[in-house]
Structure 1
Amino acid sequence: MLLVALALSPSACTKKKDDAVDLAGLRPITMEIVVVDDELEPFAKPTGTLPESVSVRAEQRLSRSGLPVTLQYAMLIKKPGETYVQAKERFSPWLSTLPLPAGHRFVLGDVMEEDETGEPRPIGLRTYVVAGGAIVTHANVVDAMVLEDDGKGPVQAPVVLVTLDAAGGERFHAATREHVKERLAIVVNDKAMSVPVVQGPIPGGRVSISMHGYDEHAVAEARRLAAVLRRKPN
């Protein structure tokens, strides 16, 4: 669905305010940015019999010191026609039996794979362990707009550019300064949309959310997300 990035190239996009989006029937959206704990490995020891379609896999990334480390995560392969919510309902009961330290929790994100046309599609869900409270939430959003491909270069997916209020921007800047070379998770409606590595302090209070896909559906989804993030509860 979404891939959130902390870096942006607006020169290849045009801004759309999306005022014409119909908000009727759209449910509120929750958004939070939280720290990923890559030092905690709940799957390092045998976990017993794994549920159907679940496996423990490994990924490599660089540690804060710059050395390569291998991390383990659990992945569930979706059944044909299964929605994200349905897959999560199969995955979550088993995850809830795995002990985590106080203040830690699992969040799930899509595992993407390109189809025969080159379009990314979700094939499963994977785990991340996040720690502590939210750095910022949807309550800190003061504006959101869509940056669409301007057609002058390689095709780019639409991006939702989120502007945070002063307090949120300061907290986000401080967190990215404190967690350089670590990962943050941007979680929308309890789903990890992206888990980027912080390359350096990020001032300015802006976060960009890039959509999976390049078609009109991706553009429409970006416009709905931006419109709902802008909307404040009554």
Structure 2
Amino acid sequence: MKKITWRGMSIATVILVALIYVLPTLANNCWPHKKINLGLDLQGGMHLVLEVQTEKAVETTIERTIHEIKQELRKKNIKHLGVSHNSDNSISIQVQNQADLESVNPVIADEFGNFEVSSTQKQGEKRTVVLKLPHAEVVNIKKMATDQALETIRNRIDAFGVSEPDIRLQGENRIQVQLPGIQETQRAKELIGRTARLNFQLVDETGDVKSAETSSPPPGDEILYQIQEDPVTGATSKVPYLIQKRVLLDGSSLTDAKVMIDSQFNEPYVSIEFDRKGARIFEQITGENIKKRLAIVLDKTVYSAPVIQDRIAGGQARITGNFTTEEARDLAIVLRAGALPAPVNIIEERTVGPTLGADSIRMGLLSMVAGGILVIIFMVIYYKGAGVIADIALLVNILLIGGGLAAFQATLTLPGIAGIILTIGMAVDANVIIFERIREELASGKTPAASINAGFDRAALTILDANVTTLIAAVVLFQFGTGPVKGFAVTLGLGIVASLFTALVLSKSIFQSMVSGKKTATLSI
């Protein structure tokens, strides 16, 4: 009796926990407030395929290397006539004579060993050395750019608050994004596709902005614009700035970005914090450029260009720009997640409406209910009282699958519903094996109690073998499958575990409670 009592309490606990997790899906505001997540095919949402412009990542690497070469040559007092970026993504370094070239070569070998010297050209006394990235290095940069873009987009979407997004690589430079249940599709696209490259650059106040607009900016400068909105009319205008190309500090040193409210103007702004190195550089920049304007540039747009009044220590700054709270929050998200290493283009976009999702749910549930009812009727007709026990186990099985989906916050998809329907058949199959063994034992003349024990003992190994091999297949499908296949694998795996519990533990306990302590001569099976 102790064994039965403890077993009964364990079964009741498992069923109660499953019921608690399923309840929020059936009724709102129930603890633990975790509904079963529905996939894109059930609740609607957005499907995107993004293409990472990996060539831009290579170009960015070249531009950064050019800046580093100039710094190294300046540091070692080596004169040069220019370091330029060629159309084939090679770098040309021009020097005055052979002696200067011999000074440049050790710098290239020591500091830029990942580049190879493709040629050395002569033009009178002048010498030009051409550096090129090896093919393997170009391939690696492109792969790293795609991997980093994937991680950055995943971080942005996680911060945005989408439940169970599906984000994965597709081919060499494409990323598939599925966002179930999302309503603000345009805002999500802007958040995902924003490059978010943050730079701090000085404003060139010695040059003439108007003449630079009409002709060309002075060497080392560029024209960037700030978007300003009239608070009364809502009209926007572009204010030009002459900005020095040299980037003093970029967003790679950021450790945090959060939305704050300005107490004076009651407007949101984004407060940013730098790491130790970034804080030291920022303090140095502000200390060396007092009374100059420092532009905060995000994706080639000037957000603000305040005058530096004093050295700023502590590694904190703010980005203002007449934001709404929503805009400030999205900006903080992309800054925290980091800049994309290369721009991304949306090459495929599909929006699945909630109507299609509702139809899918209705048809899926209808097929599940219809299949379940047919199985229940068959079991009662063929196995009589034992069939009723099998049907109780079947209903508990479905409850346990639902509780598992909610507890693990797995996503239920249309193929997942197919997995539940398959599980219904498999759960009954386990009971069929057991019942046939019990019938064999009864036919040999054993008592009902002995037949039940022998039937479960003889069937247990067969059931375990069949279910464990199917569980292995489900694990493989989950590990290597895509979204819909994973949804099927999740419900199949949960169903197998639930089937083992209901067939070998629950059904046996009900049978034993029926014959325990009673002199029963017959068994309805």
TM-score higher than 0.5: yes
Q: Which residue of 1 aligns with 2:85?
A: none
Kindly indicate whether residue 278 of structure 2 is the aligned counterpart of residue 205 of structure 1: no
Q: Separation in 2 of the partners of 1:154 and 1:138?
A: 27
Aligned-pair distance for 1:170?
A: 1.4
Q: How far has the Cα of 1:182 moved from its partner?
A: 0.9
Alignment of 1:165 onto 2:278: no
More helix by share: 2
Matched residue of 2:196: which SS?
coil
Aligned partner of 1:126 in structure 2 is 239
Which residues in structure 2 correspond to 1:30-179 (within 5 Å)? 30-43=197-210, 95=213, 98-115=215-232, 121-148=234-261, 156-179=266-289
Superposition deviation, residue 129 in structure 1: 0.8
Contact 1:21 1:223 in 2 (8 A): no
Change (3 A) 1:155 1:184: closer
Change (3 A) 1:162 1:122: farther
Q: Which position in structure 2 is the counterpart of 1:82?
A: none
Shift of 1:154: 6.1
Q: State the distance in 2 between where 1:154 and 1:101 align.
A: 39
Residues 199, 122 of structure 1: alpha-carbon distance in 2 compared, 3 angstrom cutoff: farther
Match of 1:228?
Answer: 334
Greater displacement, 168-177 / 153-162: 153-162
Distance in 2 of aligned mates of 1:221 and 1:122: 18
Secondary structure class of the residue paired with 2:308: coil
SS at match of 1:32: strand
Q: Which has the higher strand share?
A: 1
Q: In structure 2, how many angstroms separate the alpha carbons of the residues matched to 1:144 and 1:29? A: 12
Same amino acid, percent of matched pairs: 28
CA distance change for structure 1 residues 155 and 186 in 2, over 3 Å: closer, same or farther?
Answer: closer
| 1:186-201 aligned within 5 A | 186-201=296-311
Distance 2:261 2:284 in 1: 29
- Map of 2:518 onto structure 1: none
SS of 2:331 mapped into structure 1: helix
The match for 2:294 is 184
- Alpha-carbon distance between aligned partners in 2 of 1:166 and 1:140, rounded to the nearest angstrom: 8
In 1, the alpha carbon distance for the partners of 2:281 and 2:289 equals 12
| 1:36 partner letter | V
Query: What amino acid sits opposite 1:105 in the alignment?
Result: E
CA gap of 1:106–1:155, structure 2 versus 1, over 3 A, is closer
Alpha carbons 2:202, 2:243 under 8 Å: kept: yes
In structure 1, the residue matched to 2:160 is: 21
User: Aligned AA for 2:203?
Assistant: V
Aligned to 2:63: none
Alignment-derived partner of residue 60 in structure 1: none
- Label 1:226 to 1:42 Cα distance change in 2 as closer, same or farther (>3 A): closer
Deviation, 1:211, is 4.2
Q: Does the aligned pair in 2 maintain the 1:138–1:229 contact within 8 Å?
A: yes
Letter in 1 for 2:224: V
- 5+ long unaligned stretches in structure 1: 1-18, 48-73, 75-94
Offset of 1:183 from its aligned partner? 0.5
Q: Give the conservation status (yes or no) of the 8 Å contact 1:35–1:131.
A: yes
SS of equivalent to 1:193: strand
- Residue by residue over 1:175-226, the C-alpha shift from the partner in whole angstroms, topping out at 9 and shown as x without a partner, is 111111110110111101111111010111111123415xxxx111111111
CA shift, 1:125, in A, is 0.7
Q: Aligned partners of 2:280, 2:302: CA distance in 1, in Å? A: 22
Q: Is the 8 A contact 1:110 1:122 kept in 2?
A: no
> Displacement, 1:132?
4.1
Partner residue of 2:372? none
Give the secondary-structure state (helix, strand or coil) at the position aligned to 2:246.
strand
Work out whether residues 42 and 98 of structure 1, in 8 Å CA contact, stay in contact via their aligned partners in 2. Answer: no
Q: Counterparts of 2:265 and 2:204 in 1: how far apart (Å)?
A: 34
Structure 2's unaligned 5+ residue stretches are 1-157, 163-187, 342-525
- Where relative contact order (Cα < 8 A, 6+ residues apart) is larger, the structure is 1
1:87 maps to which residue? none
Q: Output the amino acid matched with 1:184.
A: L
SS of equivalent to 1:114: coil
CA separation of 1:154 and 1:141: change in aligned 2, threshold 3 A: closer
